[in-house]
Amino acid sequence: SLFTQVFGLSSVAQVVLGKGNSGQYLSINMAFGIGVTLGIYAAGGVSGAHLNAAITITQCILGNISWTTVVAYIIGQFLGSFMAAATVFALYYDAIYDYTQGNLTVSGPTATAMIFSTYPAPNVSLQGAFFTEFMATVMLILGVLVIHDEKNNAAIKGAQPMLTGMLVLGIGLGMGLNTGYAINPSRDLPPRIFTAMAGWGTAVFTADHSWWWIPVAAPILGCLFGVFLYKLCIDFHNYSGHETEQEKEQADVETS
């Protein structure tokens, strides 16, 4: 999480504080993709690269990991993400104070809270924002499952982190306008807690009709729905396909 977030958040800081002269929206998409790739390479051997609380919780509900493991992973994710927010704040401390004249705000012409966490676009309703985060996370988990499913046409092991990074890049390229594609409670909530402590105050939780809970709840529900969709449309057919192949082989053996 630390890896992913330092790359991602610092790219947002550079675009915002550089007033568009030091990168555009695309550079944020690319930085998050690179961060995810490196994060998976870094943590793949340790935890199977659990960087997203929504995916961790989903894995637990599916019975793949225990609740105690979930708690440990999520604490790790949150600490990493919180530390990353603190790192980026320290890195851009001077630039933030120069840009805001020391007035740290969530909204207004020199708003800087969105460097650290997501906030919805002004023209998006809460329902629209919820649906955006939900659908973006459905696409995320479908992509992750497609890349990693050994029973299907999985990518080779060494390429999986890079492809997952490209998946996150793709989501950012197409689904970032409404909500800034949090798609991960661990990406959004710890930096928000950091900003509340670092001078932005409770406005980070009350802004936009208390928007903060949507990047926490919508990705978890999106993940669960995505897994259900994958099992229904792909996994279920894979099982039956393999079984018939095995039965056929068995029959061939018996015949011969």
Tell me what the mean pLDDT of segment 69-96 comes to. 96
Instruction: Using the predicted structure, report yes or no on whether residue 253 has a pLDDT greater than 70.
Output: no
Q: What is the pLDDT of residues 152-186, one digit of tens each?
A: 888 888 899 999 999 999 999 999 999 999 999 99
Helices (H), 177-235: 185-195, 203-210, 214-230
| Burial tier of 106 (Cβ tally within 10 Å: 0-12, 13-18, 19+) | buried
| pLDDT of 99 above 70 | yes
Residue boundaries of the structural domains of the chain: 1-238
- Architecture of the CATH domain 1-238: Up-down Bundle (1.20)
Predicted pLDDT at 241: 47
Per-residue b/e over 53-85, b at no fewer than 16 CB within 10 Å?
bbbbbbbbeeeebeeeebeebbebbbebbbbbb
Residue pLDDT, tens place only, 39-61? 999 887 777 778 999 999 999 98
On whether the CB atoms of residues 172 and 33 are closer than 8 A, the answer is yes
Cβ atoms 223, 59 nearer than 8 A: no
pLDDT in tens, 196-219: 999 999 999 999 999 999 999 999
Least confident of 31-35, 165-169, 248-252: 248-252
Structure tokens that stand for 42 in this block: 């870094």
* Residue-averaged pLDDT of the chain: 91
Query: Whole-angstrom Cα distance, residue 170 to residue 88?
Result: 24
CA nearest neighbour of 150 among 46, 65, 242: 242
49 within 8 A of 76, measured Cβ to Cβ: no
pTM over 0.85: yes
- Tokens 């790790």 map to which residue? 76
Q: For position 160, what pLDDT does the model report?
A: 92
